[in-house]
Amino acid sequence: MIYSMTGFAQAKGNYKKKEVSVEIRSLNSKFLDMRVKLPFLYRTKEHEIRKIVQGEIRRGKLEVNVMLNGMTDSENYTINKDLFKKFYAQLNELKNDMSINQADMMQSILRIPNVISVEDAEMPEDEWSALNNIINQAIQELKKNKKREGAVLGQDIKLRIDNILLLLSKVDPYEKERVENIKQRLSKDLEEMSSFHPIDKNRFEQEILYYLEKLDITEEKVRLKEHCEYFYKVLDDIKSEKGKKLSFISQEIGREINTLGAKAQSSDIQKIVVEMKDDLEKIKEQLANVQ
């Protein structure tokens, strides 16, 4: 089972008169890149929130957005008037030139850090517990969505590996013909050269054997099959994070396919190699979205 790196989830909950909403969006990334957006009341908990998310998701570009509506009577909010006036004066100068709406301008100023402050920003333990639960609900929902999408990716990737192995089995019928063609070509070259220079046939046969040994593709076929079987094994592993490992295996598969093509000396085998490369390229495209 594999997990997709892309996904979206949302969870909501309540604490007293507050409505808390948590949204998590995940996009492709080679590493974990997390952006957390919090209301000013919860900013002291950013480090803990990051640790919670990192404990469950270790790869991808994440956007964690916590939204808060409502407040309790025990919380006292104040506006920094001097700071508000400063921003208002600056934006007011730009209002006409940039066609800024008055209401939008007021809302934008209120979102600026330190314009609004809470006298007692310490979050009660029971509120933090409620927020923690909502965040975990969003994480679990995100993992379900990523797993669902990952199942589709896994089926397509497995189909591509199946096809590479099927194409590999089609190489065998051309093996004997390939060797004979090489021998005939070399023999023809020998006849042409012997009319100008004496040739040691025994030495020539030794050279042919050495040349054919260099062009032998048995090892490449065996290793390619082994890499594909190992790919299956990792793909079916219960571990959720294996995108990097599968990418490394796909690189090894590509190396064997390239060597097979370089040694082929056969247009029929070359055509098979091209089809293998096409399937491998599609696998790599899909793996870019695997966690």
Residue-level pLDDT, tens digit, the chain, 291 residues: 789 999 999 999 998 888 999 999 999 988 899 999 998 778 889 999 999 999 999 889 999 999 988 765 445 567 778 888 888 888 777 766 666 666 667 777 777 777 776 655 578 889 999 999 999 999 999 999 999 999 999 999 999 999 999 999 999 888 777 767 776 676 666 666 666 666 666 666 666 665 656 678 888 999 999 999 999 999 988 876 788 899 999 999 999 999 998 888 788 899 999 999 999 999 999 999 998
Secondary element (H or E) of residue 84: helix 81-98
Phi-psi region of 34 (alpha: psi -120 to 50; beta: other; left: phi over 0): beta
Question: How far is the CA of 67 from the CAs of 12, 36, 71, 122, in angstroms?
Answer: 9, 11, 12, 18
The span from the CA of 253 to the CA of 238, in Å, is 22
The span from the CA of 282 to the CA of 291, in Å, is 17
Phi-psi region of 16 (alpha: psi -120 to 50; beta: other; left: phi over 0): left
Going by their DSSP bridges, the two strands 32-37 and 60-69 should be labelled as parallel
User: In this structure, which amino acid lies at residue 215?
Assistant: L
Q: What pLDDT shows up at residue 41?
A: 79
**Is the CA virtual torsion 94, 95, 100, 102 positive or negative?**
positive
Q: Which CATH number fits domain 7-75+124-147: 3.90.1570, 2.60.40, 3.30.230, 3.30.70?
A: 3.30.230
Q: What pLDDT shows up at residue 192?
A: 62
The span from the CA of 133 to the CA of 127, in Å, is 10
CB-CB contact of 155 with 286 (8 Å): no
Q: What pLDDT shows up at residue 18?
A: 87
Q: CA-based angle 139:140:141, to the nearest 5?
A: 90
The span from the CA of 146 to the CA of 2, in Å, is 9
Q: Which two tokens stand for residue 53?
A: 């998310």
The span from the CA of 188 to the CA of 203, in Å, is 16
Domain locations along the chain: 7-75+124-147, 77-111, 148-287
Q: What pLDDT shows up at residue 112?
A: 76
Residue whose entry in the numeric block shows the structure tokens 């192995």 = 165
- Other Cβ atoms closer than 10 A to 210: 10
Q: Is 51 exposed, middle or buried (0-12, 13-18, 19+ CB in 10 A)?
A: exposed
Question: How far is the CA of 83 from the CAs of 89, 90, 103, 117, 138, in angstroms?
Answer: 10, 11, 18, 12, 36
DSSP state of 264: -
DSSP state of 174: G
In sequence order, what E strands does the chain have? 7-15, 18-27, 32-37, 60-69, 77-79, 116-118
Q: What pLDDT shows up at residue 271?
A: 94
Longest pairwise C-alpha distance within the chain: 107
Q: How many CA atoms lie within 13 A of 87 on its CB side?
A: 17
Going by their DSSP bridges, the two strands 18-27 and 60-69 should be labelled as antiparallel
